[in-house]
Structure 1
Amino acid sequence: MGTDKIRILDFITYPGRNIYCHRPIMKLVVDIGEYSNIPTKDIQGFHDRLLKAFPGLKKNCCSLGYEGGFLERLKEGTYLAHVLEHVILEMQFMLGYEVKYGKTRVLEEPSVYSLVYEFQNEVCGLECGKTAVFILNCFLNDKDPDTQTFMRYLKKISIDAELGPSTTAIVQEAKKRGIPVTRIGHESLVQLGYGKYRRIVESTLTDATSCIAADISCNKQLTKTILSENHIPVPYGKVVYSEFSAVIAAKQIGLPVVLKPCDGNQGKGVVLNLDREEDIKNAFHEGCKYGNGVIVEKFVTGNDYRVLVVGNKVSAAAKRLPAMVTGDGKHTVKELVDLVNLDENRGDQHEKPLTKIRIDEISVGILKSENLTVDSVPEEGRVVKLRANGNLSTGGTAIDCTDRIHPENAELAVRAAKSIGIDIAGIDIVTEDLSKSILDTGGAIVEVNTAPGIRMHIYPSEGTPRNVAGDIVDLLFPTEESYHFPIVSVTGTNGKTTTARLIAHTLSLAGRKVGLTSTSGTFVNGKCIFKGDHSGPRSAKTLLSNKEIDCAVLETARGGIIREGLGYDLADVGIVMNIAEDHLGMDGTETLEDLAFVKSLVTEAVKENGYAVFNAEDNMTPFLMERTKANVILFSKSNRFEKAAGGGQIRVFAQDGWIRIQDKETLISLIPITEIPITCSGKIECNIENALAAAAALYALRISVDKIAQGLRSYRQNTGRFNRYAVKNFHVMLDYGHNLPGYRQVIGACKRFDSSRLVGVIGMPGDRSDEAIRSVGALCAGSFDRIYIKEDLDKRGREPLEVANLFQNAILEKNYEQKNVQIIENELEALKAAVGSANPGDLIVVLYEKLEPLEEYLNSIGAKPAE
């Protein structure tokens, strides 16, 4: 084709809410090379090729906001990356997806661009992105690719990647009820809800159906045996393994007979009304294609009915008609099939209410039995059947008859499903009239099906559509409690972990089974099940699939939000603790407003009746408040709300040594601050803030004030945060402070403890800017009497001792005495050195990277937690 002018550098998928959009989007990073300064109007023939291939682009609005806006941009001159965005969206729109959102920005001057665009089908979105790049490269190389061929390919793979019709109907019903839906992989497997009430569904097969029950239903002879033992009418039959045995069995049973595979589905291999030896032999070989063994059973005359059982009741019933055409005396059978398939309600597979009729060996055989071929011209009015069974998957149709089913038939259908152990079952009944009991008419239940399709009930060809998907969701989520899974999401620059822990602790006291994700790991009911930094979306998704929990508290960090969006749909409470200078210059966040924009996603993604909790004393709170539609609760450790004036009818604040809650006209004195252990009698001010934020969230969750106070009073073991140890005649404090605001909080707290000297063991992650590291170094120079500089094991892109040298230079520039500062690269060795040279009354502060080795060392030298 020639050299690619546009090169794809990266693809990122955001399946949930993200900083770009609250709908799923993809991010495509491309390099447009030499075209970075060439508008498309200056590329010969490009516009003509583009609009010929994608005429719908003429109606695109673009940023101008009106139809035809993009065409104006083209005429004025725009750039390739921008055109690529519109082509990708247009291709998806041509495939039937209502996608509109897209945005293109320069990522690296002059030619690297970042495109984000909405998608509804992940496979389609990805392939449209790749295909659009290929097509535009063809245009740039003076080629005219066959775009229609590409579109046909994209249509096929998009259909293949869609959820099946049954799953789609159930998903839509779940979303109407506010139940979150998570797709698992690219098949029709979905998770509905979270935690304890989470359900897994594939089509209409649920996690309540055991493997044994599913296996039984697939074994048709075993199913018949069980039904017969439960006094449910079934046709008499035998299993055979040779055509000779099939013929003998048919004669013993009595002609006509039905042959079907023992473990088939969707009517595959089923041949009805056989009374000739040759046909029986042929039917045996057809059945053998779909499983081991073939059932020969008595042919029950009558109509084919499908009864859908959901739980303990019949949800719907339909009369099924096989694929057929009606002669007009003009067209051949094949032409009649083609005419029927023009119906817009018929699709190639399951994507539409009906499936197109296919002419294959089975239909040819049925035609032959009627002395017809595909080229025969049936006389006007003659009905020509092309299938023996009425399955929709082979082109059949259905007539709703739910209101006509006889009560005894309904009861037998429910009993049949229960006897096999299936919660959602398709019961196939053959009888002349479903409104009469099969106990009187000689009808029979011929099959019990797991994962029954529900298209025929939702979109019957005739009769009343039935909302069977709603019945299924009601079965899966029978109570109001099962609909509602409380989630609290906590973000901010500092205090996230402590606040999340306080909330989780108090919820557990209130009797909830709590899941917690944080920088220190994932916890279920207080037990750590995974260690490490689990403050990202993947950890949140994993936790929310855990059946042991009935609520979740999620620490939600900036990095995960930027990389992958949120790991949940909507929270009941979203908290932004504060916005301070950390991570600036990383991932496109250059200013505090950029950082606030990222973190605001947490308080935007809150349920309609939920709450956003903000720090009234933070400068960015007014910005954050403008970006949320949730109810607002403000907290303040100084009882000052001027910066967030007018926001929130509920306020939580510190006043006269108490934490108080003002809810409209009601003032609640919650707890004296001195009774909150993690504040150390008020010495650790940041933990007062954390307690306020936790109290606000718990109050929003309608936890009683007595229980909130109990939680704040009883939470003591805040691992890795302001942990003080008594060692001989001095103290050691361990804390995770790793940015300038964190260092300020730690140093401020330490100065409130009596100590003869303050000794710092300091370091910072290498992904912070030089300026940020030097600022912390300058702060330490004015705060510590002696300093040991250590480095993290994870250098995060830095050279060995690069961070340490930045620290040392910044400290010495403040005229700090050289003899009082020392670089000891290993964190544990730095602590040992500080302990070894400690004076009576010292307080050694370690701003750690890895907690466990330090705790083990302190335990080994007899350190005890300080009172």
Structure 2
Amino acid sequence: MKNHDIRFLEMRHLRGPNIWTYRPVIEALVDIGTLEDFPSNTLPGFVERLTSLLPSLVEHRCSYGERGGFLRRLAEGTWAAHILEHVTLELQNLAGMPGGFGKARETSQRGVYKVVVRAWHDEVTRSCLQAGRELLLAAIHDTPFDVGATVTRLADLAERKLLGPSTGCIVEAATAKDRRIPAIRLLADGNLVQLGYGAASRRIWTAETDRTSAIAEGISRDKDLTKTLISSCGVPVPAGRLVDSAEDAWVAAEDIGLPVVVKPSDGNHARGVFTNLVARNEIEAAYLAAVEEGSGVIVERYVRGSEHRLLIIGGKLVAAARGETARVVGDGQSTINQLIDLQINSDPRRGAAEEFPLDVIDLADNPVARLEVTRQGFTPDSVPPAGREVLIVRSGNHTDDVTDAVHPETAAIASLAARIVGLDIAGVDLVCEDIAQPLDGQRGAIVEVNAGPGLLMHLKPETGQPRPVGRAIVDQLFPDGADGRIPVIGISGSFGKTTVAQLVARFISLSGKCTGLACSAGLFVDRRCIEKGDSANWRAAQRVLMNRSVEAAVLENGSTTILAEGLAYDRCQIGVVTNVEPAAHFGPYDIQTPEQVFTVLRTQVDLVLPKGSAVLNAGFPMLVEMAGLCDGKVVFFAADADLPLLAAHRASGQTVVFVRDAQVIVAIGDEETPIVGLLDVPLTQGGQIAWQVDNVLAATGTAWALGLAPEVIRTGLETFTAA
């Protein structure tokens, strides 16, 4: 048994829809070697060891569709590749990537399988597969394996590589079933994301959008300027001014009236903000600490009450949270540092990473908390008497949702402040004693207006209900149900794809739209060649979809692209399959049967939007069978006008394209529209080149499905010549 091994022969990142699923996956070619002769029920003690390492495998339903289904498969006997699939998925789940698609399928080579798992991130999922192999072999060989350390390592990697919680909640809201706005991550390890395609797209970067003004962001960073602007419009702010020294800070405090707040003029995340200061030594010490956090220091009136964060999106209050007060209670034995770790930092919601809603408190790195402790007569190493309460943070993380309690006048004032600064998304910080009452009666005030506010506090509040802040941002970017889509035309098949793609791009350009074309002849935008050579691939298609001048995208997708990379788009308006010759696809990627070819080419049809169309060659039974998989309409084309399928299809009110008397004709029911005579189409040499006639019909059907005028189609065909 010690000789058993599992080897990865190859790993492919299918970055878009593929033959397995609509989502990105890693497809691993796995050789299980001698384990092909040893299913799980023949390995003594293996099942018990595996389930003791990963007890949560009991939640995997597998083919039985019930809790414990996978354990049942283990007991009955299943193969190592299938087990690797489930172990990898569970490691991803434990590392913070729940759910996901998985498959394990035999190849034509004995003992070699394709193991497919949902890829939240290429590097992360590859690491999970490698860790899954190591865990599986440890269970087989009865050797130690540290699951906890492995999950921690994978979770740390995921935290570094996956979208942060603020960006993630926006993307999740955009791609939800009721919106289906496509998303493209523009930085592999960053939070810059494009929502939508081409000219209809928008961009986000955490809680900032392409509508977030650079001027507004600059204003928000300058706290004194922000106060000046919003107070001039009647927004209540605490009196205060910039100071240039510790002595000047004390002078300002005397002028304003004690107590005061000392804070950086351009800081963020409440770093260096000292509140409720009354003594000169405190104010001067606070100045020295605050000046390290920014380029200047402000002294302003201390406003009594709790700090609140109001999230304003598109001029409307979407969420509000109240800040916490952190305290410890002495036990007569522990130092304040120890009490903080025992009573505050032990909270599982606290952590240094962005995914944690609460921050870890460390007096060594927090001069504000350190001063608070000093003001009460303690040091970090002091042991307070049993029962003595020590304030650590006067106003820290915003933990309690108070959205429903915000007084309408206060919400309106916060919205006004955001508009004055010019922010489309703003975190407005205000201090008051009762958020349910107007600010005026309690001398409440707005103290800051922040760009790029964190959203986690509203997604995971300590008390109260989470707020759909991601959805609010999406609705602002894409109002009235807009989906961020441009017409995307995907073209697949065995032959003729490039010509059809060029024809369709020609038609759309003639209609006046800036058209992106990625095909075997190159990459083109608005008929200008951007890149020569074969561009019928994922990378080139992504470049088209990322180009914000492109109003329509025509993308050629051969079977190799689908099998090796996945498609670059989630859905398309038009999906074309020109023809099919199964033998032309045999060989690479273990494709050996017509049924497998069907699975590859149907991917293009599967992606057609409900309001879109599949354009299919009626002369091929395999393609006729694909018609039933289309969520939208179907346009059939064939040179033979008498093909029974065409007659039945047009009789049902559907569109067909055919040739009669050397004329290209589009027909729907009893209505026929002549498009062009083949004698006037140079590409077909007067109709003599049969396969070019098919290409013309496919392109014509596509243009018709796009709603292009017959005159545009005719002009395009009469003036197009093959390169």
**Shorter-chain TM-score tier:** 0.7 to 0.9
TM-score scaled by length of structure 1: 0.73
Contact 1:517/1:534 (<8 A) preserved: yes
- Offset, 1:97: 3.9
The 3 A distance-change label for structure 1 pair 154 and 646 is: farther
More moved, 202-211 vs 343-352: 343-352
Given the alignment of the two structures, is residue 714 of structure 1 paired with residue 720 of structure 2, yes or no? no
Q: Which residue identity lines up with residue 449 of structure 2 in the other structure?
A: V
Equivalent residue number for residue 224 of structure 2 = 221
Equivalent residue number for residue 863 of structure 1 = none
- Offset, 1:572: 0.9
Other structure's SS at 1:693 match: helix
Contact 1:622/1:644 (<8 A) preserved: no
Other structure's SS at 1:452 match: coil
Q: How does 1:308-457 map to 2 (within 5 A)?
A: 308-311=311-314, 313-316=315-318, 318=320, 320-324=322-326, 349-351=353-355, 354-355=357-358, 358=361, 360-361=363-364, 362=366, 363=369, 365-370=371-376, 376=384, 385-392=391-398, 396-401=399-404, 404-406=407-409, 409-410=410-411, 412-432=413-433, 442-457=443-458
Equivalent residue number for residue 601 of structure 2 = 599
Equivalent residue number for residue 641 of structure 2 = 639
Q: How does 1:285-684 map to 2 (within 5 A)?
A: 285-311=288-314, 313-316=315-318, 318=320, 320-324=322-326, 349-351=353-355, 354-355=357-358, 358=361, 360-361=363-364, 362=366, 363=369, 365-370=371-376, 376=384, 385-392=391-398, 396-401=399-404, 404-406=407-409, 409-410=410-411, 412-432=413-433, 442-457=443-458, 466-478=467-479, 483-580=484-581, 581-642=583-644, 649-684=654-689
Equivalent residue number for residue 14 of structure 2 = 14
More moved, 588-597 vs 202-211: 588-597
Other structure's SS at 2:621 match: coil
The 3 A distance-change label for structure 1 pair 644 and 241 is: farther
Contact 2:326/2:392 (<8 A) preserved: yes
Counterparts of 2:362 and 2:613 in 1: how far apart (Å)? 59
- Which structure has the bigger radius of gyration? 1
- Offset, 1:536: 0.9
Other structure's SS at 1:523 match: strand
More moved, 334-343 vs 87-96: 334-343
Deviations 1:196-254 (A, max 9, x none): 12111122111222444323322323433444565654434444465444444434443
Contact 1:209/1:423 (<8 A) preserved: yes
The 3 A distance-change label for structure 1 pair 640 and 491 is: farther
The 3 A distance-change label for structure 1 pair 89 and 619 is: same
Counterparts of 1:153 and 1:384 in 2: how far apart (Å)? 36
Q: How does 1:38-57 map to 2 (within 5 A)?
A: 38-43=38-43, 45-57=45-57
* Identity within the alignment, %: 34
Deviations 1:110-156 (A, max 9, x none): 55443111244555423221211222343455421221222233334
Q: 5+ unaligned residues in a row in structure 1: which ranges?
A: 722-867
Counterparts of 1:719 and 1:282 in 2: how far apart (Å)? 79
Contact 1:166/1:454 (<8 A) preserved: yes
Q: How does 1:128-207 map to 2 (within 5 A)?
A: 128-175=128-175, 176-184=178-186, 185-207=188-210
Deviations 1:341-377 (A, max 9, x none): 788877774546x426645444454344345779657
Counterparts of 1:351 and 1:700 in 2: how far apart (Å)? 46
Other structure's SS at 1:166 match: helix
Q: Which residue identity lines up with residue 223 of structure 2 in the other structure?
A: K
- Offset, 1:545: 0.9
- Offset, 1:194: 0.8
Counterparts of 2:514 and 2:480 in 1: how far apart (Å)? 18
Contact 1:217/1:450 (<8 A) preserved: yes
Equivalent residue number for residue 814 of structure 1 = none
Counterparts of 1:670 and 1:422 in 2: how far apart (Å)? 52
Q: Matched residue pairs, number?
A: 708
Contact 1:400/1:465 (<8 A) preserved: no
Q: Which residue identity lines up with residue 167 of structure 2 in the other structure?
A: T
- Offset, 1:575: 0.6
Contact 2:700/2:713 (<8 A) preserved: no
More moved, 118-127 vs 189-198: 118-127
- Offset, 1:644: 8.2
Counterparts of 2:194 and 2:241 in 1: how far apart (Å)? 40
Contact 1:635/1:652 (<8 A) preserved: yes
The 3 A distance-change label for structure 1 pair 468 and 42 is: closer
Q: 5+ unaligned residues in a row in structure 2: which ranges?
A: none
Counterparts of 1:669 and 1:720 in 2: how far apart (Å)? 23
Q: Which residue identity lines up with residue 697 of structure 1 in the other structure?
A: T
Q: Which residue identity lines up with residue 216 of structure 1 in the other structure?
A: I
Deviations 1:155-183 (A, max 9, x none): 34334444333323322332231211122
The 3 A distance-change label for structure 1 pair 597 and 528 is: same
Q: How does 1:212-291 map to 2 (within 5 A)?
A: 212-227=215-230, 232-240=235-243, 242-291=245-294
The 3 A distance-change label for structure 1 pair 347 and 720 is: same
The 3 A distance-change label for structure 1 pair 8 and 249 is: farther
Counterparts of 1:515 and 1:442 in 2: how far apart (Å)? 58
Other structure's SS at 1:18 match: coil
The 3 A distance-change label for structure 1 pair 386 and 316 is: farther
- Offset, 1:410: 4.9
Counterparts of 2:397 and 2:59 in 1: how far apart (Å)? 42
Q: Which residue identity lines up with residue 322 of structure 1 in the other structure?
A: E
Counterparts of 1:644 and 1:67 in 2: how far apart (Å)? 49
- Offset, 1:107: 5.1
TM-score scaled by length of structure 2: 0.87
Q: Which residue identity lines up with residue 158 of structure 1 in the other structure?
A: A
Other structure's SS at 1:170 match: helix
More moved, 49-58 vs 557-566: 49-58
Contact 1:611/1:630 (<8 A) preserved: yes
Contact 1:192/1:198 (<8 A) preserved: yes
More moved, 83-92 vs 252-261: 252-261
- Offset, 1:570: 0.3
Contact 1:400/1:457 (<8 A) preserved: no
Counterparts of 1:584 and 1:239 in 2: how far apart (Å)? 74
Q: Which residue identity lines up with residue 657 of structure 2 in the other structure?
A: V
The 3 A distance-change label for structure 1 pair 325 and 244 is: closer
The 3 A distance-change label for structure 1 pair 644 and 271 is: farther
Counterparts of 1:525 and 1:619 in 2: how far apart (Å)? 36
Deviations 1:758-799 (A, max 9, x none): xxxxxxxxxxxxxxxxxxxxxxxxxxxxxxxxxxxxxxxxxx
